Amino acid sequence: YRINNAFKGYAHRESYLEEAVKTLKVEDCPDYEYRKGQKGSVIVIGGKGEKIINTYGHTNNVMYRLSVFRSMTLEKYNELKKEDKLPKADYITYVTRDAHQGLSASERSEKRYGTNNECPQGNKYHLVSKKDSSIDDKGRYTMYISDNNNNRDIQGPNGFRDGIAIHEHDRKGSKGCLTLASGNGEPGTNTLGKIPVEELYNEIPDLFLHEVMKDAERTDDNGLVHDMSIDRRPVRLILEEREVIEKTNNNKPYWEGFIDEEYKV
C-alpha cells in the first residue's frame, strides 16, 4: 500500500504472492506454524545489562535488549516461552532503563518505581503510538507505555504516572523513560538523534498500520469496491525485572544497572 495506494494490479500481485508461498514451502516452516493466525506484536525488554554506551558526554549507559516479535499475541508468546519454543526475534535493539540520575532529591521518590524513578516492571503493558495515546494527536515522543492501550497512563507505587516513552535522549533525567541514548543528532555531537527510534518504530507495523490503511479500498475489474482497511492490533510490552545495585545520590537511593561479564555482548 505504501508503494501503490491505488492497488493497481493488486490481483496480479496477490497471485504472485500465493505462488511464492507455495514454492518456498512457507507452511512447512516451524516459525510460520507458531505465528499462523496471530495478530498483534509482543515487545520484550530484558532485565540483564548487556552493554554500555557513552553518548555526548554522558557515560555508562547500561543497555538492555529489546526484542520485537511480530505476528504474535501475548498469550502465544507466554505459551511458546513456557515450552521453550520461542522463535528468533524479528528485530533487536538496546535501550536504557536507569532513570533520574540528573534530577535533584526533591524531584524523585525514595521508592524504586516511584515518581520520576524507573518504570515499574510488568507483563501486561501496551506500547502505543503518539496518535493512539492522545485525543489531539499531540505528544513529544513517538511511542508511549500504557496500562490500557488508549492513553499514556500507568499506575506506580506513588499512584498515577504518565508520559513514559521510548525516546532518543540519555538516561540522565529520563524520569522513567526507556531510551536509545542516541542523542540530539546535532552537528559535532557524534550522535544519531531520532534515527534509531524511527527504526524501532518502523519495525513494529502494528503500531501504525491501521492509521496508514484506515481508508484503504480497491475497485476490482467488475467495479466492485473492496474494503482493505486494517483494524488496530495490540502491541503488548513485557518489562522484565531489572538487575541493579542500590546506591545513593543527593541523599536518596537510586538503582543502577550493571553488566554481568558472562552475559555481556
CA distance 194 to 142: 10
Pair 218, 226: CB distance under 8 Å: yes
Pair 244, 117: CB distance under 8 Å: no
Pick the residue with more confidence: 63 or 30? 63
Q: What percent of the chain has pLDDT over 90?
A: 58
Looking at the domain assignment, is residue 106 inside a domain? Answer: yes
96: left (phi over 0), alpha (psi -120 to 50) or beta: beta
Looking at the domain assignment, is residue 7 inside a domain? Answer: no
Looking at the domain assignment, is residue 245 inside a domain? Answer: yes
pLDDT tens by residue, 197-223: 999 999 999 999 999 898 898 888 899
How much is the pLDDT for 187? Answer: 80
Identify the weakest region by mean pLDDT among 43-52, 97-106, 197-206.
Answer: 97-106
Of 132, 137, 131, give the one whose Cα is nearest residue 148.
132
Q: How many domains, the chain?
A: 1
CA distance 12 to 75: 36
How much is the pLDDT for 10? Answer: 86
Looking at the domain assignment, is residue 185 inside a domain? Answer: yes
Q: What is the mean pLDDT of residues 39-43?
A: 97
Domain of 168 in residue numbering reads as: 39-257
pLDDT tens by residue, 235-253: 999 999 999 999 887 778 8
CA distance 205 to 201: 7
Looking at the domain assignment, is residue 4 inside a domain? Answer: no
pLDDT at 77 over 60: yes
Q: Helix (H, G, I), strand (E, B), or coil: what is residue 196?
A: helix
Pair 48, 95: CB distance under 8 Å: no
The amino acid sitting at 262 is E
Looking at the domain assignment, is residue 51 inside a domain? Answer: yes
Q: How many CA atoms lie within 13 A of 66 on its CB side?
A: 23
pLDDT at 65 over 90: yes
Q: How many CA atoms lie within 13 A of 108 on its CB side?
A: 28
The mean pLDDT of the chain is: 89
Q: What is the mean pLDDT of residues 81-88?
A: 94
pLDDT at 59 over 90: no
Q: What is the mean pLDDT of residues 144-149?
A: 94
Of 164, 167, 177, 161, give the one whose Cα is nearest residue 115.
161
The residue count for the chain: 265
Looking at the domain assignment, is residue 54 inside a domain? Answer: yes
CA distance 144 to 177: 9
Looking at the domain assignment, is residue 49 inside a domain? Answer: yes
Under the banding of pLDDT at 50, 70 and 90, the label for residue 264 is low
